[in-house]
Structure 1
Amino acid sequence: MNKTVNINLANILFHIDEEAYLKMSRYLEAIKRSFANTSGNDEIIRDIEARIAELFQEKIENERQVITLKEVDEVINIMGQPEDYMVDEDIFEDTPNTSASKTAKVKKLYRDTDSKFIGGVCSGLEYYMGIDALWIRIIFILLALSTGFGFIAYVLLWILVPEASTTSQKLDMRGEPVNISNIERKVKEGFDDVASKVKNVDYEKMGDKVKSSGKSFADALGDIIMFFFKIVGKFIGILLILIGATSLIGIFIGMFTVGVLDMFHIPGVDFYDMVNSTDAPVWLVSVLGLFAFGIPFFFLLYLGLKILVTNLKSIGNIIKFSLLGLWLLSVIGLTILGIQQASAHAYNGSTAVKEELYFENNLDTLMIGMNSSDLYNQVENGGFDGMSVAYNEKGDRLLYTEDIRFDIKKSEDSLVYIRIRKDADGSSFENARKRADRINYRYTVKENSLFLDNFLTTSSENKVRDQKVYVTIYVPINKSVSLNNNTKYHVGWGTENDKEVYRSDMFNYTWKMNSNGILQCLNCPDDMDDEMNKNQSGHIIIDENGVDIDIKDKNDKIRVKINEKGVQIKSDDN
């Protein structure tokens, strides 16, 4: 049973075997004596102890593992023997005169604060990538000015990449072996009064000898495969960084900007409150969206940096789990808000009223026109689902749209009727009907003319719920109808005519209702059918009432029409 000793090496606690402790103590004492008369010897000793502690940490699997004589010998073999740097041959007699192995040193990314302008990121990348720091700084500046990515990338590297503060880290940054010789040389470079540098270490005498026969074919093939995988890994890392960074920039600009504008009530932005059915403020939804979409892309960026930078400083478990918790809460919050938003449009309700129209004189021809709105000039920019914000004469905010359609149908008696149907969405049928009933829509009758409002309004408190108005005008048989030119964009596809004139062109002619419910043209040219057949190849009309398709072949022999009555096929031969 061996006795163990607890030691504090570079402020790190280790459990070490007593025999290994005695050997390490003699080794460190010998090093101290070897640098007793050297400038900066205290800093050299501190850096050597820090390097030894780092090597011990690499060799033990957990903090309770005991360091044995084997680990001590391996560390001494890497660091080198004090007699390699001293004339005194009796300083360290316990160990054989072996040499440290020469191994290929991999550079590690650190921030070089000795040559920094801001945070030392660019000067550290100079050592890591082998590119002059001036060009790296120019690239960061160009990316910052053009896309903003340079600024974000620099700040992230400043936060995540550790600073090369110790001599060992500075040697790692340059890709030089961290042993006694190089630590001593690096420390001495910091003193102006040093007359000469430590003599070079003969690395060829250290470690295992390289076989003169060279590598076997299998070893060479393995190196090629590993090199290929490293290249692919670096490419994937760069791709992840680009995807993560650009996505973060877009999400940050989109979500954060909208949220801030809503908090300060910038005109136009608060329109989204009329769309939102959850009563959650836009800034809160923006923050939840920023966390829900931004955190995954941040970890994607971090993963890319970990692939490219092997010694990237960890963000810590506390931050990782905190971000994970924020992400889960944000996703749950957005899911709840999304369900509430969808439920507000789950049902469609409508109210309808049918009224008889009275005319002072005997009606021969019904004139139909549209009343324009004085609110149009007061409409705010922006909108959603065809709705905009307007103000009435009292200054009250209203939801406003000019998406109004009317159809002309046959009356069942000798009277003229008007039917107005109002539609809206809601979280229930009753809620939808109440919203539909709160839609404001008017018409006026003057002499032989009917004027329909070309707009509808509703209070902003009702919010945007797909509010619609459908108007149907019922005209008796043999009564004539004339349309004003301001109706051209409001005639519905359910209005049929015998000449198949497109609805936006019907205002050019006078029409009479026949017994089949079809308007007959009274003043159309005699050759109108021939001209239409010659110039038109049919039409396809898609609107809120359905689909109206009129197809004709190039020889005008077959016509196929699909409307609310079904499918109609006609041939010129019949």
Structure 2
Amino acid sequence: MKPTIDINLGGMLFHLDDDAYKALQSYLKALDKHLQTVDGRQEILSDIESRIAELLTERLASTRQVVSMLDVDAVKETLGSPSEFGPGPVDEPSQGYSEPHDPSARSKRPYRRLYRDDQDRVVGGVASGIAAFFNWDPLVLRVLFLLLLFTGGGVLLYIILWVLMPKAVTTAERLAMRGEPVTVETIRNKVETEFDKVKNSMDDMDVKGRFSRGARRTSSVLGRILRVCARIVIGFVSVALLVTAIAIGTVALNFLIGDGSVISESGKLSELSEVIMPAGYSMTYLWIMTILVLSGPIIFIVLLNLRAFFGMRYNRPSSRMLGGLGALATLIGLLMAMVSGIKVATEFNVDASHLQTVNMPESVKTWELSMADIMLKDPDFSLGRVRIDGENLDEWDESDLNDSFPSWWYIKDNRAFFNNVEVDVRPARQGQASLTVRRYASGSSRREASYRANRIDYDLTVSDSGEIVVNNMLDFPTSDRQRGQSVEVVLYLPVGHRVSFDVSLENYLYDVDNVANMYDDEMLGRTWIMMPEGLTEVKAY
């Protein structure tokens, strides 16, 4: 059993065993002696301590709490020993300090992190920070942000990046921003370079220098004002995103495990998903896929709120791990969606159709075309699944229902009903009126598509007086899945025959050619006659 010692290193609390504490203390003393004659010694030591704290945090992660001798040795191998650096005091190393066992094995792999470059900023240092990360020219990014300014989203994007990207404060952070190895040697060289710049700038007191510093002070004040405004904006955006995430989660849960009554006027969306999903893919698959896809955005929104309101940094191990898990979950969910999507897409490879000709009375020359809503005919449709403003459909009359919404699907007795119906009127090639019904469907093969098309059930009625009533919905077995099933009803009229379109055909007339080039909805409630030049409106005089 070893005693442990608590220390504050780089603003973070660490628990070290006795051997690790002595080794780390000796290492820091050796560095202090070596840097006695170097300008900016305290800043270098402070940056080194921050870097040591970062390395120890990465090694401990969430599995251990006490720093051991192995951790300290790993830190020394990463940062290097004082004897490897430039000129310095030749004093012997402090008692208890030992060189890394294999300095040549020290990791030289640079690592990059995204920071705002406050030293080369115009406004907030976002463009210069991104440019340093990717080793680009910051001017290119500044021009890009300037162009985005005119698209309407550039300002918001810049503000969000400004808030999310931490500022490179320490020398170690500035090195990491540029992808340079963060060792004692590079930290020392960077600090000495900065001190040389300061000395040179002290000799430059001309008008240009004063103007530059004045502009920088103005930019600094403007930057602080914009940063406050950015935090306010990002706060509102974060709250809005959080509310949106809660709403999406509620809807998703209701969709997946609820009764679906608050989502659709036609029925449960879970039933619809079963008709759309490929055979063999259960609701459990869709449930898992949806949760995984939503996990990443929800975790990001939560972290964004923690950053906006509590100042939590993203580079904390727990935040990075949580964000990584969220991103991984979303990626897995998207892959699951891709797999099922590809499976569905293959079942739309080939189209097929089945043609039916309907008998027509030969003596009729004036036709009345209307549409019946089979959902109104179905007494079992209003089973409490449809609720609008808290009212049950049973309390609505037909006019209220027609004015409220056009229901486009529902499922009953293992049959799926869809309103994929189109009605058209065309010139007849012979002297007799005719009516055709063509059923369409898709499949992975022509045989499969033809099989689905033949299993579509669709009804219409033609009276001896010339009244044609077509249904607004087709239906098919739910086991066939929704694979583009549709119906096209075409009335062929010879020259001299008339037809009137009832208003119930709204949304179902499809691109009916006429001499006046009227839109389909404008043709409703009018009487038309087929002329040699095409369908012509019969006007009352």
TM range (shorter): 0.3 to 0.5
Higher relative contact order (CA 8 A, sep 6+): 2
Q: Over alpha carbons, which structure has the higher Rg?
A: 1
Higher helix proportion, which one? 2
